[in-house]
Structures are given as C-alpha cells and as structure tokens.
Amino acid sequence: MTQAQLRRRDRGPRSTTDTSPHTVGRRPAGPLPRALRRLKARLMFTGWLQYLPTVAAGIVFLAVSAVGRLIGAWQAALFWLPFTVGVLLLAAAAFDVVTLKLGVRPGESVPRRREGLDAFDLMRSRRSCRSFQSRDLSGAHRAELMRVVGEYVRPDHLIGTGPIRLEYLAAPLTVWPTVGAHEFVVAIAPRDYDRMAVVDVGRSLQKVILHAGRMGVATCWIGPGADQASVVAQLGDRFDPDRDHVICVCAVGYRSRFKPLTVRAIERAQRRRLPLPSLFFTDPCGRQPLPADAPPFSSFGRCYEACRWSPSSFNSQTTRCVGVTDATGGTVRRFDFYASTTSRYYAPVALGIWCAHWETGCAALGIPGSFRVLTREERGAPDAPELPHYDVSWVTDPAYAIAA
C-alpha cells in the first residue's frame, strides 16, 4: 500500500458530493504521475529510496561543476567547490549502500540499560531509530518486552472497551525509511472503527516503547511507511481480515550507528516541535494559551514538555490540551485532550501517545488521576464544535485536588 493510499484510508471515504476547491474541476491524474507514484512506492518498499536522494544530489553538483568548467571563470567557486561536494555525496552514497544495503560493516555492541534516567529524561531522550543492527533481540530482552506488552493490553489498563493486540513479528517487513529492521510489534484494533481503541493503541504501545528505551532497546513508530500487505501476510493466522485492522507497526531492535545520509537529514528535520503556547490552552477553542509556569498549572512541571516532544506521524503534532480549573481558578480539575484534525487513525494514535507521556509524568510527580471520557454536558460544552475533536480527559484525584 502506497503512502497516498494510506492517507486516503486515514481520512476515510470521500463523499461523492464533495465540492471543495481541492477537488472541483481537477482532471484525473495522467499516466506519468501514476507511473511516478508507482516507481516511488517500489523504491520505498525495496529499500532503495533512502540512498537515491544522495546520489541525485551528487549528480546535480557534478553537473553544476561541469557547467562551471565550461564557463572558465571563478573556478574555485564554479568548478572545484561543486565538484568536491558532488564527489563527497557520491562517496557517502556508496558507503551507505555497502554498509547498510549489502551489510558489509563491523559488528556493534548491545546498548546498556538506562536505569539511571528518571521518567522525564527517559521520555525526552527517546528518539526514533531508523537504522538497526543485524543482530536479533536477546532472549531475555524479547521475553521482558513481551511481558510488558501483555501488561499494557489488559482490558483493565485500557481507556476504552474495544480490545487491542500487540503482536510480535520477526520477519523482514516492507517498511520505509527504517533500515535493517527485522523485528516488530504490530498494533491491531477491531476492524469496525472504534476511535478509543485507536487511542488505546497509541497509549499502550508508547508505554511499551518507553520501557524498551529503559532496556536499551531502540524503537521506531511506522505508520505510512509500512506496507500493510506484507504485514498481514507475515501475521498469517494471527490476523482475521473480518475482525482485525492493522493500525501501525513498531520496529524494535538495537540501534546502529550506520545510517543513510538521507535518513540523517530526515531525523534532523523532524526534531522541531511547536512551542507550548501552541499546544496547551485554557479554552477549548485554543485562543488562550495555558500559563504553564504559573499556579495552579505549574505543579505539573515537566509534563508539558514531555507531551510536546511526543512522536507523531510526519511530526504533525495534531494533539491539543485544555487545562480546566475550579470556579476559583486555584485548583486544577482536569486536562481535556483534543485532536486538531479529522484524521481517523494518525491523530488518535498521536493523542494516545500524549496520554502515555502525560500519565507517566504525573505518576513521576506523584499527582494521582485517571482518564475518563466525558460527555459534552460533563465538560460544560454542549455546543462544542467538531474541531478540535474531543477524545478524553485526565481527571485529577478529588483528594489531591482538595489538598492542592
């Protein structure tokens, strides 16, 4: 399944009466765009697209140097500089292909456990791993990981009532842009759409990922970059097409220091995050930024930053949070979590990841509370708009709220 198909699936079926300016009068795509899309998908899922941008950039610089040579003036700037950059880029691409695609590289050690990190440092230091070692997880690590998986998919741990599953797979799934991944956790929810089950996927799988990080095991969320046909084929009898729906997969393994230059560029681009005033508010319409440094909200400390640095598909950061106080404004009663888009899969998964970070942070601070899905009347918002889309609330424990 291509990236475009996954995005269409995420948005849901398009109405035949859609008359938005993005669709009216649009001519059907010609054979060339379709061919390019098929070529891109083939390169993605055969593992070559990670290397081609570096090659293409190298060729462009060499072409520029050739033109500069013909000009005959300012040779240092017009010939030698682009020529040197082009050669270095092609050399980097060749090195990446040999060490990663062909697997000719020295062995690497197993990372150490990270027991010394507190909860906030663990969440902040977590990075998606896009290049894995060829070694398998040790038996002890795999057993510990699956024990944690079993703990977080129990019905009493979930917010909603829909069951979810996290299945372990040791197989060369077709994924992009991750390199070398060969062990995965596949998130499965009911085929009939259940939004809270999708939220629970994000929350439960992120809890597993945080534990894996403490073990020294690297992880990478993969949504649009996973070929669902290959995932379903590898699941075999563990997947029932009449009952199950694959939400996403998560690569697990040991981080490798070797990675394609293109992947390094992607990682740098995805480290940017929106500022806190664009994510936390005191009103559901998102007009009043939440004063995170002022009482009573300041008691939640680093929880805000923990959510801000949560991963999301394409680093889109679609989750918003509204802090609600009592009538006096002196005590925090709850935090409402919203999705800022109509996405049916990626946004609720991202919101679930926020929930995992939020409750992990609150537990570290000793602030008791629980997640509840409130009605519009319970939230005091009977005329709430469709967007942002409300999903769930973290309600402080009444005893703590009174004490505060």
Domain ranges of the chain: 3-9+31-101, 119-262, 276-403
Answer yes or no: same fold for 119-262 and 276-403: yes
Q: In this predicted model, which residue has the larger pLDDT, 22 or 246?
A: 246
Beta strands per DSSP E along 288-340: 319-325, 332-339
CATH class of 119-262: alpha beta
Residue 241, preceding peptide bond in cis (omega within 30° of 0): no
Which residues, 6 or more positions from 369, have their beta carbon under 8 angstroms from its beta carbon?
334, 359, 362, 394, 395, 396, 397, 400
Q: What is the pLDDT of residue 370?
A: 96
**pLDDT tens string 341-385:** 999 999 999 999 999 999 999 999 999 999 999 999 999 888 888
Report the pLDDT averaged over residues 284-305. 94
Residue 8 has pLDDT above 50, yes or no: no
What integer best gives the mean pLDDT of the chain? 89
Length of the chain: 404
Beta strands per DSSP E along 200-330: 218-222, 244-253, 280-281, 319-325
Share of the chain above pLDDT 70, in %: 91
Tokens of 258: 């070797």
Phi–psi pair at 184, nearest 5 degrees: -145, 155
Residue 160 has pLDDT above 70, yes or no: yes
Residue 4 has pLDDT above 50, yes or no: no
Residue 2 has pLDDT above 50, yes or no: no
Q: What is the pLDDT of residue 226?
A: 80
Q: Pairing mode, if any, of strands 319-325 and 244-253?
A: unpaired
Q: Which CATH number fits domain 276-403: 3.40.50.300, 1.10.3720.10, 3.40.109.10, 3.40.640.10?
A: 3.40.109.10
Q: What is the pLDDT of residue 268?
A: 83
d(CA 183, CA 168): 7
Residue 27 has pLDDT above 70, yes or no: no
Residue 30 has pLDDT above 70, yes or no: no
Over the range 303-312, which residues count as b (16 or more CB within 10 Å of their CB) and which as e? bbbbbbbbbb
**pLDDT tens string 76-130:** 999 999 999 999 999 999 999 999 999 999 999 999 999 999 999 999 999 999 9
d(CA 150, CA 165): 9
User: Residue for token digits 């942070």?
Assistant: 361
- What stretch of H or E contains 60? helix 52-71
